[in-house]
Chains A and B, each alone.
Chain A
Amino acid sequence: MIVAKRKPINEIAEMLAPYKKVTVVGCRSCVAICLAGGEKEVKMLVSALKVKNKKDGKKQQIEGFVVERQCEKEWIKEVEEKVLESDVTLSMACSLGAQTIGDMYPSHLTFPGLNTGMFGVPEEQGVWSEKCVGCGNCIIHTTGGICPIARCAKSMLNGPCGGSSNRKCEVNLEVDCAWAAIYDRLKIQNRLDLIDKVTPAKDWSTSHSGGRRVYVREDAKLTPHQKKGREGVQ
């Protein structure tokens, strides 16, 4: 899932300072699971901002809402009125949610309440770790199911580097060396031969290096007739 962190309250307050009427919109998807921008976090932020405003003697109207998935236009329609009647919308979704609102209402101000960090997984309560960088050409069947591009600080294809000590990464001694983990995993799978071969240069054109990616599934697209029908229903 997409893992994000809330911005510091002072940074948010500063962003919102010039505006009288603020709509905060959270999201019930990834950012709710990672405890950054779900229903509870929206409520907490709204009351924290109100307390701060009271203390600072500042008048500002703040209201909070949550949608199911902020990256999909259909769900944003639910809060359209609240968004448009405000001076600014603070998105408590990942940047995808914030940008979806921004793209739908281009003349309206939409600001980010979160810093979007990574594609990660919850390791335990309160701990999330990065496991994918979306390179667009998955190779984990050759690396014991562990992604060296996301999990090695140097994205090495032929690791581990010379800084791996006690199977930890030199960049952060709390983090496991991805290549030590790959070695151990392939060893128990009896597939070490996979990393005895040189992995050649990777083609990064499927990643962000190839420019912004737009995936089109022709078979899933609606025909103009179907689109018209959908609009009619709405």
Chain B
Amino acid sequence: MKAGSNLEKVLESGKFAVTAEIGPPQSANPAPLTHHAKMLKGFAEAFNLTDNQTAVVRLSSIASAVIIMREGVEPVIQMTCRDRNRIALQSDLLGAAALGVKNVLCLTGDHQIFGNEKGAKNVFDFDSIVELQVFDQLRREGKQVGGEVIKDPPKAYLGCAENPFATPYEFRVSRLAKKVVAGADFCQTQAIFDMDMFEKWMDEVRSRGLDKKIHILAGVIPMKSAGAARYMKNKVPGMIVPNHIVDRMKNAKDPKEEGIKLCVEQIEHLKSVKGVHGVHIMAVAWEEMVPRIVEMAGLHPRPTVE
């Protein structure tokens, strides 16, 4: 075991894993985190705490992780390279490990132009692949990127994200392979709506043997409305939403119910894709739907692995 997290135990035992997301609030109030932790406990192995997602200032991911841990819920902290240089990234990894955080998702980060502090100076000392490589070396050898060897290195189960739907498509599996080499243990994908395209990507992942080297958790987003589908189709860079899905949401009598149904169908399908070791449910600002989705998809109760 690299960190001995619940997520690691489930994935390494070969069981199908579930992760979901909890968005930290835009305030200093821990109550929404506690509320969601209580509601979601037992419905996924671990929950991602986003790191100032879309560059909007929010309660920090490490602080959020500690708050949900108090409720007995396991966190995956997201750590972007946008706001921290190598000194801060390594320091935060040590700090998070010392606080008992075991799962770390390495991300380059959304550009600040999308957020509420557009005048910010960004850092990008690293990208996500360099971050993985540096964290992997730190956990294995206790060796910092600058060469200094430390005592009591951090234990961490390292994750990455990958988007099969961003250009150039031909390079997307190679990029996942680089993340494997850099030290990633698991990968949460961008939300999947185009199943054919995802399966093509998975074919190549399997043909290169990558499914044996990294646990792939397929990303899904339950949609509340046809507007949400159109927004993701037209406005979110690197996202592909086929017309039949937009139409299905548009023609639905009860779009919210249809969104849940669609998400459950997607999970059912993804469970059957060879090499997919779990799902990652991103119910953005709709966290309360996660228990229903997990139950309807036949993924509840979650396994216990010792």
B134, B168, B175: most-surrounded residue (chain A CB, <10 A): B168
Docked-complex contact A157 and B130, CB < 8 angstroms: yes
Task: Confirm or deny: A177 has a beta carbon within 8 angstroms of a beta carbon on chain B.
Answer: yes
Q: Does A201 contact B (CB under 8 A)?
A: yes
Which of B91-99, B120-128, B277-285 sits within the interface? Answer: B120-128
Answer yes or no: B306 CB below 8 A from chain A CBs: no
Residues of B within 8 A of A170 (CB): 111, 237-238
> Which of B11-19, B24-32, B158-166, B268-276 binds A?
B158-166
* A2 CB–B CB distance under 8 Å: no
The residue that A166 contacts in the complex, of B130, B133, B163, B167, with Cβ under 8 A, is B167
CB <8 Å contact, B125 and A204: yes
- Distance of B278 from chain A, by nearest CB (Å): 19
Contact A200 B133 (CB under 8 A): yes
Chain B contacts with A in 218-252, Cβ cutoff 8 A:
237-239
Chain B interface: which of A22-30, A61-69, A148-156? A148-156
* A158 and B178 contacting across the interface, CB-CB below 8 Å: yes
Mark each residue of chain A from 162 to 184: 1 if its CB lies under 8 Å from any CB of chain B, else 0. 11111100110100010010011
B166, A161: Cβ atoms closer than 8 Å: yes
Contacts of B171 in A (CB 8 A): 160, 183, 195
B116 in the interface, Cβ–Cβ < 8 Å?
Answer: no
Cα distance A155–B128 in the bound complex, in angstroms: 12
Given known pairs A153-B111, A158-B178, A164-B237, the reply for A201 and B166 (CB within 8 Å) is no
The answer, among B86, B162, B178, B181, for a CB contact under 8 Å with A201, is B86
Instruction: Name the B residues within 8 Å of A154 (CB-CB).
Output: 81-82, 108-109, 111, 122, 124, 127
A196 at the interface (CB under 8 A from B): yes
Is A163 touching B166 in the complex (CB atoms < 8 A)?
yes
A-side contacts of B124, CB under 8 Å: 154-156
- Least Cβ–Cβ distance between A124 and chain B, in angstroms: 24
Could you say which interface size class chain B belongs to? 35 or more
- Taking CB atoms, residues of chain A closer than 8 Å to B110 are 163
Q: How many angstroms from the CA of A90 to the CA of B162 in the assembled complex?
A: 51
Determine the distance from Cα of A153 to Cα of B81 in the docked complex, in whole angstroms: 13
Distance (whole angstroms) from the CB of A182 to the closest CB of chain B:
10
Question: A9 CA to B161 CA in the complex, in Å?
Answer: 47
Contacts of A165 in B (CB 8 A): 166-167, 237-239
Q: Which residues of B contact A164 (CB under 8 A)?
A: 166-168, 237-238
What residue in chain A is nearest B171 (Cβ atoms)? A183
B297 beta carbon closer than 8 Å to chain A: no
**A153-B122 Cα distance, complex, nearest whole Å:** 10
Task: Tell yes or no: B170 within 8 A of A by CB.
Answer: yes
Chain A neighbourhood of B130, CB < 8 A: 157-158, 198-202
Q: Is the CB of A157 within 8 A of B166?
A: no
Chain B 252-301 residues near chain A, CB threshold 8 A: none
CA of A170 to CA of B112 in the docked complex: distance in angstroms?
11
Which chain B residue has the least Cβ–Cβ distance from A155?
A: B124
Whether B190 is near chain A, meaning CB under 8 Å from some CB there, is yes
Chain A residues closer than 8 Å to B167, beta-carbon distance: 160, 164-167, 177, 180
- B159 → chain A closest CB, angstroms: 14
> Closest residue of chain B to A170, judged by CB?
B237
Contact of B127 among A157, A183, A204 (CB under 8 A): A157
Beyond A156-B127, A164-B237, whether A198 also contacts B109 by CB under 8 A is no
Nearest CB of chain A from residue B214's CB, rounded to whole Å: 14
Beta-carbon contacts of A103-134 to B below 8 Å, as 1s and 0s? 00000000000000000000000000000000
Chain B residues, Cβ within 8 Å of A183: 168, 170-171
Q: A160-B175, A165-B238, A170-B238 are in contact. List 9 more A-B contacts (CB 8 A).
A: A154-B81, A156-B108, A156-B124, A161-B238, A162-B190, A171-B113, A184-B168, A201-B133, A204-B125
Residues of A participating in the B interface, judged by any CB pair closer than 8 Å:
153-167, 170-171, 173, 177, 180, 183-184, 195-202, 204
Show 20 A/B contacts (Cβ-Cβ < 8 Å), sorted by A.
A154-B111, A157-B130, A158-B175, A160-B168, A160-B171, A162-B238, A164-B166, A164-B237, A165-B237, A173-B237, A180-B168, A195-B174, A196-B178, A197-B178, A200-B130, A200-B133, A201-B125, A201-B130, A201-B133, A201-B134
In the complex, the 8 A-B pairs of residues with the closest C-beta atoms, listed nearest first: A162-B163, A170-B237, A158-B129, A163-B237, A156-B127, A165-B237, A164-B166, A163-B238
